[in-house]
Amino acid sequence: AWHFTDAWHCAAFALKYRGRGSKGSRQRLPPGHMGLPFLGETLSLLWYFKLVRRPDDFIGAKKSAYGDGVGLYRTHLFGSPSIIACSPAANKFVLQSADSFGIRWPVPELVGITSVGNVEGASHARLRGFILAAINKPSSLRTIATVVQPRIMAALQTWADKGTIVAATEIKKVTFANICKMFVSMEPSPMTDKIDQWFGRLLDGLKAFPLDLPGTTSRAGRKCRRKLNAVFQEVLEARKKVHTGCDDLMSGLMQMEDEQGKKLSDNEVVDNIVSLVIAGYESTTTAIIWATYHLAKSPVVLAKLREENVEMNKSKSGSTLASLMITYDDIPKMKYTTKVVEETIRMANISTMVFRVANMDVEYHGYTIPKGWPVLVWLRSLHTDPNYYQDPLTFNPDRWEEPAKPGTYQVFGGGSRICPGNMLARMQITIILHHLSIGYEWELLNPDVEINYLPHPRPADGTSMAFRRLST
């Protein structure tokens, strides 16, 4: 059955491309295997990611069987014949060829029909301009640093009061409180608790099989998306009636104009607020969880981090909360902290892969990526490859003394969709590392806990830890 499926797909391909090679060349699929009938290689993926918990061996097995080649393999995953890209050059090729490789979400409604993650071409470029201006410009980041910091400082104190915490739960809470404040100036309330639950179900819906039937996770996700859009629409309507003077993402997006003086529609503002929460909430939470995890296991790194941050803290004078905060402009001076942040993000591999679909038959180094086939751009495989990172599974911030080899660091994707929140994510991790290292110490309760790799890599126990104020 295994070989029959591969033969079946290859024969279908050969039939379709009969005599259509350009300049006499033969059309051929990248090497690889289509796996079992209907299931494809899904079981193999689950075997490596869920059962044996060696996710890198999924691509490793392909490299052993078919050689490194040009970094493309054929496969059958998530219900469709697909191409995997997993070399710096092949990934770059796919991510930078926006005309050849488009976006097709299984349920666009869940991502947001008019959101930056779903639209393409000129509309995408226009929306990205708005979003980059709102969350990626130094002036925006300067303001955001002052908005998020008090909540982070207060949260760490409550963790120490508790003594034992599940970091995933606590980090999620403070990240969400900050998102509500940054995006729509909402303070924690029963309403924000509800919104948080809806986001949880929406995120589950995005990861679930896209079956729109009563009782399915996908249906529940769609319902929550509608509720979230409705809540934020109300906030927006209220702002149009009474000028609130809020200095948050929603106001920013409502006021901005493009080069033609055109503003975003109300629907675009709301859709993109919801989608930015989806993109920024779980990713930032996961990165911070990994930072606490690795630092707990790397006392030498933590000591060096602490030393730099205590020095930075000494340069702050005064007793008010504001005077103890770091600023966006302090960050370039925090050289070692920056390395810890990059190493955390590299090892976290929050996005194992990103998805594209071939808009046309695309040729790459003698292989054809057939029109309509999904392309899975396997970001993870670059960050765990010993050819690019020595001893890649060891947490070693000093490796960032040297920049990564060109094209081998794609944690935020690449090309026209490279993560517009990357500076915001880095800044939030830096801020929490600063306050954690100068004021607290922590130990993992289950240092040898298993790691779950699906849907995103995380310690299975949520990172339970003893957490206290530093005694000195």
Residues annotated in a binding site for heme:
419
Query: Angle between the 217-241 and 190-207 helix axes, to the nearest 10 degrees?
Result: 140
- Per CB under 6 A, 421 contacts ligand HEM: yes
Q: Give, for 205, the enclosing helix (H) or strand (E).
A: helix 190-207
From the list 42-50, 198-206, 209-217, 281-289, the region that binds ligand HEM by CB under 6 A is 281-289
- Per CB under 6 A, 437 contacts ligand HEM: no
User: How deeply is 440 buried, as exposed, middle or buried, from its count of CB atoms within 10 A (0-12, 13-18, 19+)?
Assistant: middle
Give Cβ neighbours of residue 114 (< 8 Å, ≥ 6 apart). 265, 267, 268, 271, 272
Give the ranges where 70-188 is alpha helix by DSSP (H). 88-96, 108-111, 121-135, 138-162, 167-184
Residues annotated in a binding site:
419
- Per CB under 6 A, 347 contacts ligand HEM: no
Is the Cβ–Cβ distance between 455 and 465 less than 8 Å? no
Of these, 86, 186, 208, 345, which contacts ligand HEM (CB under 6 A)? 345
Shortest Cβ 180–ligand HEM spacing (Å): 12
Give Cβ neighbours of residue 196 (< 8 Å, ≥ 6 apart). 176
Q: Per-residue x/- marks for ligand HEM, 97-136, CB under 6 A?
A: -------------------xx----------x------x-
- Per CB under 6 A, 252 contacts ligand HEM: no
Report the largest interatomic distance among the alpha carbons of the chain, rounded to a whole angstrom.
77
Q: Per-residue x/- marks for ligand HEM, 283-302, CB under 6 A?
A: xx--x---------------
Shortest Cβ 375–ligand HEM spacing (Å): 11
- Per CB under 6 A, 413 contacts ligand HEM: yes
- Per CB under 6 A, 86 contacts ligand HEM: no
The string of DSSP letters for 427-464 reads: HHHHHHHHHHHHHEEEEES-TT--EE-SSS-EETT--E
- Per CB under 6 A, 205 contacts ligand HEM: no
- β-sheet bridge partners, residue 442: 467
Of 256-275, which residues contact ligand HEM (CB under 6 A)? none
Q: Indicate the residue among 111 and 208 with the shorter CB distance to ligand HEM.
A: 111
From the list 47-55, 71-79, 416-424, 439-447, the region that binds ligand HEM by CB under 6 A is 416-424
Of 133-192, which residues contact ligand HEM (CB under 6 A)? 135
- Residues that contact ligand HEM, how many (by CB under 6 A): 23
- Per CB under 6 A, 280 contacts ligand HEM: yes
Of these, 98, 235, 411, 433, which contacts ligand HEM (CB under 6 A)? 411
- The residue number with the shortest CB distance to ligand HEM is 421
- Per CB under 6 A, 219 contacts ligand HEM: no
Beta strands in 310-459 (DSSP E): 353-358, 362-364, 367-369, 374-378, 440-444, 451-452, 458-459
The string of DSSP letters for 209-268 reads: ----STT-HHHHHHHHHHHHHHHHHHHHHHHHHS-----SHHHHHHH---TTSPPPPHHH
Is the Cβ–Cβ distance between 321 and 153 less than 8 Å? yes
Shortest Cβ 297–ligand HEM spacing (Å): 20
Nearest residue to 378 (alpha-carbon basis) of 77, 66, 129: 77
- Per CB under 6 A, 420 contacts ligand HEM: yes
Q: Which residues bind ligand HEM (CB under 6 A)?
A: 116-117, 128, 135, 276, 279-280, 283-284, 287, 345, 350-351, 354, 411-413, 417, 419-421, 424-425
